[in-house]
Structures are given as structure tokens and as C-alpha cells.
Amino acid sequence: MALDSAITFAEPLAYLAAAVIAVPLFKRFGLGSVLGYLSAGLAIGPYGLKIVSDADRVLHVAELGVILLLFLIGLELKPSRLWTMRRDIFALGTLQVVLTMAAMVLLFRAIGYSMPVSVIAAGGLALSSTAFAMQILQERGHSSLPFGQRAFSILLLQDMAIVPLLTLVSLLTPRTAGTAGLLPALGEVAAIAGAVGLVVLTGRFLLNPVFRFLADVKAREIMTAAGLLVVLGAASLMEVVGISMAMGAFLAGVLLSESNFRHTLEADLEPFRGLLLGLFFIGVGMTLNIGLLFSYWHLIIGLALATLAIKGLILYGLSRLFGSTNSDALLIAATLPQGGEFAFVLYAAAIAGGIISSTFASMLSAVVVLTMILTPVVTIAFDRIVKALRERGLAEEQMESFIESRARVVVIGFGRFGRMVAQMLEAEGIEITALDNSPQRIREAAKVGFKVYYGDAARADVLKAAGCDEARLIALCMESQTVMHRAVEIIREEFPQAKLYCRARDRLHAVELIHSGVDFQIRETVESGLVFGRHALIELGTPPERVKEIEESVRKRDDERLELEVKGDMSGSLELLAARPRAKSSG
């Protein structure tokens, strides 16, 4: 039994050990985690130490990482923001695919391949790797920069392009030539439209009520399962009608980008995305056939370098044409020159259709993997080039792509207290992100026009997903002292850049908050009690000047008492309370 268990866990142990050794080592030398995962896969794969023999099985499972990556990207893109990117997606992205394919077709024709073979080979190499490029952008903190947004637009179009490319394979397949007609094509279009419509309707009318119900019953693990069900369900539906699973997941993410449960979903699914994406990179590294590389090294290396050069030049030229700065265009060219994971799908379909041989497909796959391996190296080299150009004044500094330059505030707890805080901030036009763990309060806030997200303030991953790592101020307005205590600890440790303002329930809670180092605290009843007392005095005939004097005296004594209590002097605080201010004699 023990031996069987050891054999069963041999492959997972190999993946973990290879990643734990390779990734930190490569990051230590500034080469990035992607190249570390690739090298780990190459080392343990069928063409390395042969610890793992079936790379295709690994890739099949690890594709879930790519699917989750696209879903999480979709969560960050509201439909309105996606609409503003339409020029880069459809114009720039389409031109990049078409021009790259045309140039690569000419290259393959010059080598001596037939037109159908050249078109399919060029189509696969024209597509970049969304997983690789986005991992590099996020790892280097470039995804929010203008060139990162433009690079993502190109990747999004490339993901869409797999559908017409697969259709092209079916048209070029000898045994199906002449059989395709108008009705089958219209049927495919109708199926795609129906699937997209079903995903849109489900996302708009069904998902929020379902997640609200799950939040009401406090089943956190079931919410995670529901999130995975949404992603995989949308991805599978898209695959059935011929669209890539990644595009289905992306569409589901966009539809949930305005959901109240967006931040919790992001926090729950992020760990799965990270692990599975790392496994995907390992699987890609395992597919590099070293024997084939040695046999056709001149052709494979030549095609890999040509792909990097041709795609890089086209990306640079088009980016400049569409308004990118010199440095941004260079960085786009350095990030997207590799072949992509959809090339494997395209070449597999072409083998099944009898267009290309399995040997040639293996060579093309080796070219794709080699371009992936070289991309982090190219990116590092281009970074140095851009840095040198900036030092000489020949390239511009990178600037964050902020839509509005307003302060970011996260308000946690949206009861009566938090709602008043939000009204004050929004009256000044300050952007806020509001969180609460009560579906009922979220519904009540929606009725009066406030967008509140579901989230647990005692979870660091949820707070990060809500933007606390970029916030200038975090306002804790919840009622639970236990939750607030945990939230204060997390925020002080994880998000030290943010000022921390807290609502205190009473004097003892205020003292506790001061000891924990918050930047500001206030008891929820202080100001309302003072205002109430002020109006009562006026109604009883006290002159306004005397009312002001009394209010200032009470406020001062309250501050002095609190200061003594913070120091632990409770007796001194009680003495101040006993020595109340007396009314002035009329004589």
C-alpha cells in the first residue's frame, strides 16, 4: 500500500519539486517565473529526465489555468471599458494577425512548402500566448500601463482569431473540400450566437441572485465551487459551439465584472489560477522534443528567430501607427512575439485534416515552445534598451493609465455609519469601493444608488482584490469589534501605505483602536450626541454663545478623558467626568 501511494504521488511530487527549485532560482537571476516553469517542465519531461512521460495529459488539465486567467482578466474589464478598447482590439489586433500571417506565409513558401501548409503554419505562429504575455505583464507590474492595455487588446483579438483559423482548416482539409455549404455555415453562426446569448442572459439575470443566496447561507466553500462552475460552464459551452474555452471564460468574467460578488470571486479563484497556470507552463516545457530539435536544429531555430523578428517588427510598427510612444511600442514588440498555446490546437486539427504531417507539426510546436522560452530573455534585453533610450532622452517614461486621477478609498461596512461616510466622499467626487458581508445591506444600498460588493473584511485576499493595496485611505465602518480587530491587523501588515480610519463602538473600543495604531477613530455616538444636546439647549433658551462654549468644554473634557484612558489612568478620567462644567451665575 505504501509503495502504491508513493508511485501515485510521484508525478505531483515531481511537478512541485521542479517548480520549487527552478522558479525561485530563475527569479533570483531576474529571468522571471515563466522561464523557470518552462525549464522545470523540460527537466522532468519525456525529453529530459523522463520522470513524467505524458505531457499532453498534463496540458489538458493545466489548460484550466489559462481559462481562469481569462476569467479573472474579464472580471477587471467592465463592458464600458471594453468598448473603449474596441479600436485596439478589432483594428490593431486584426492588422497584426493578418500582416504577420502574410509575412510568415511568404517565408514558408520561400522555404518550399505548399500554400495550404504555409497558411496553417503561419496562422499558428501569428497568434501569441495570452498565458505567457499576461503572466509577464502582471509579474512586472505592467498590466495597468498603456502598453500593457494595448498588448492585452491584441491578445484578445488573437484569441478570437482561433475560430476563423479552425474554419480555414476545415476548408483546406482535402476530404471535406467542396462539402461545406451555406446552411452548415449559417447553422454554426446561429449556434455561436445562441451560446453567447445564453451566457449573457445567465450572467445578467441569474448569477447575482444565486450568489446572494449562497452568501446568505454563509457557505464560503460552495461560493468557490459556484465560481468554478460558472467559469467552466461558460468555457465548455463555448467549446461545444466552436469558440475557444478561454474566450467563454473571458465573456463570463466580463459579465460578472459589475456583480456585487466580483471581489470575493477573484480572491477565491486566484490561488487555483496561479497553481494551474504554473502547471500549464511546466506542461509546455515538457513538450519540447530535444531529439527533434537536434535533428532539425537549423530549421527550428531559424524559424523561431524569424518569428520573433517578424512579429516584433510588425507589432512595433503597428503600435507606433496606432499612437504608442517609442518605448511602449518596443515593449509591446518584446512581450508578444512568441507563438501561442492555440497553435497546438490549430496544428492538431490540421494533422487530423491531413493538411500537415505529424513530424512537421512537431517541428512547428518546437518552434512555438522555443519562442516562448526566448520571450522572457527578449523582454529583459528590451528593458535595458528602453532604459538606455530614456537616459538619452529618446524614449518617454511609463505612466500609469488612470482613467481619473481621484483618490481611492475603500469603505468596509455599509450600514448607517458607512453610508454617511460614503455620501460625504462621493459628494466631493472621490471614488470609493464599498464592501459589506451582508447581502441584505447590499440590496438596500442598491435601492438608493450605491454599488456595494460582497466581501469579508477578515480575508486579506478579498481586501487586496477590492483594491486595498492601492488605496490611499481605508475606512472601517463595520459594527463587529472582532471583525474590525482582525481587519486592522491585516491592513496594518499587508497594506501599510493606506491611512486607516475606524468607527469605534464605545470608549473602550476607541482606546483599543488607538493602541493598535489606527490613524483616526471616532465613537459612533459622539457627534450625534453633541448635536442633539446643542439643539436641546437652544430649545430651552440657552444663548447661542453659551451653547458654543458648553459644546467646546464638553468636547475638550472628553478628549482629555480619552487621553488619560489610553494611558491607563481610569481614576483621572472619572475625576474629570465628575468635575462637570457649571452654569455661569447671572449675578
**What sections of 173-296 are H helices per DSSP?**
182-205, 207-216, 220-240, 245-255, 262-286, 290-295
Helix axes 115-126, 358-391, angle to 10 degrees: 40
Closest CA to 374 of 313, 308, 328: 308
pLDDT value for 5: 43
Closest CA to 253 of 61, 86, 76, 115: 76
pLDDT value for 587: 40
Q: How far apart are CA 435 and CA 75, in angstroms?
A: 17
pLDDT value for 107: 94
- Please say whether the beta carbons of 337 and 351 come within 8 A: no
Which helix (H) or strand (E) is 436 found in, with range? strand 431-436
Closest CA to 155 of 244, 281, 42: 244
Residues in the chain where the model's pLDDT stays below 70: 1-9, 30-32, 141, 143-144, 163, 174-189, 219, 242-244, 390-391, 393-407, 569-587
The C-alpha cell of 400 is what?
500609469
SS3 160: helix
Q: What residues contact residue 69 under an 8 Å CB cut-off, 6+ apart?
A: 130, 131, 134, 135, 246, 273, 277
- Please say whether the beta carbons of 89 and 149 come within 8 A: no
Q: How far apart are CA 339 and CA 284, in angstroms?
A: 12
Global pTM reads 0.65
pLDDT value for 2: 45
pLDDT value for 106: 95
CA atoms within 13 A on the CB side of 524: 19
SS3 473: strand
Name the maximum alpha-carbon separation found in the chain: 114
- Please say whether the beta carbons of 150 and 87 come within 8 A: no
SS3 501: strand
User: DSSP labels for 100-141?
Assistant: HHHHHHHHHHHHT--HHHHHHHHHHHHS--HHHHHHHHHHTT
- Please say whether the beta carbons of 264 and 179 come within 8 A: no
The C-alpha cell of 229 is what?
462552475
Taking residue 306's Cβ as centre, other Cβ atoms within 10 Å add up to 18
Q: How far apart are CA 114 and CA 137, in angstroms?
A: 37
- Letter for the amino acid at 362? S
Which helix (H) or strand (E) is 453 found in, with range? strand 452-454
Q: How far apart are CA 436 and CA 413, in angstroms?
A: 5
- The torsion angles phi and psi of 128, rounded to 5 degrees, stand at -95, 170
Q: How far apart are CA 236 and CA 238, in angstroms?
A: 5
Q: How far apart are CA 452 and CA 419, in angstroms?
A: 10
Q: How far apart are CA 423 and CA 434, in angstroms?
A: 12
Sign of CA pseudo-dihedral 455, 457, 461, 467: positive
- Please say whether the beta carbons of 157 and 89 come within 8 A: yes
Q: How far apart are CA 563 and CA 578, in angstroms?
A: 16
- Please say whether the beta carbons of 257 and 76 come within 8 A: yes
Burial environment of residue 544 by CB neighbours within 10 A (0 to 12, 13 to 18, 19 or more): exposed
- The torsion angles phi and psi of 27, rounded to 5 degrees, stand at -70, -35
Sign of CA pseudo-dihedral 104, 108, 109, 111: positive
pLDDT value for 539: 87
Query: Over the stretch 338-371, which tens digit does the pLDDT of each residue have?
Result: 888 778 878 877 887 788 888 888 889 889 888 9
pLDDT value for 570: 62
Q: How far apart are CA 178 and CA 515, in angstroms?
A: 80
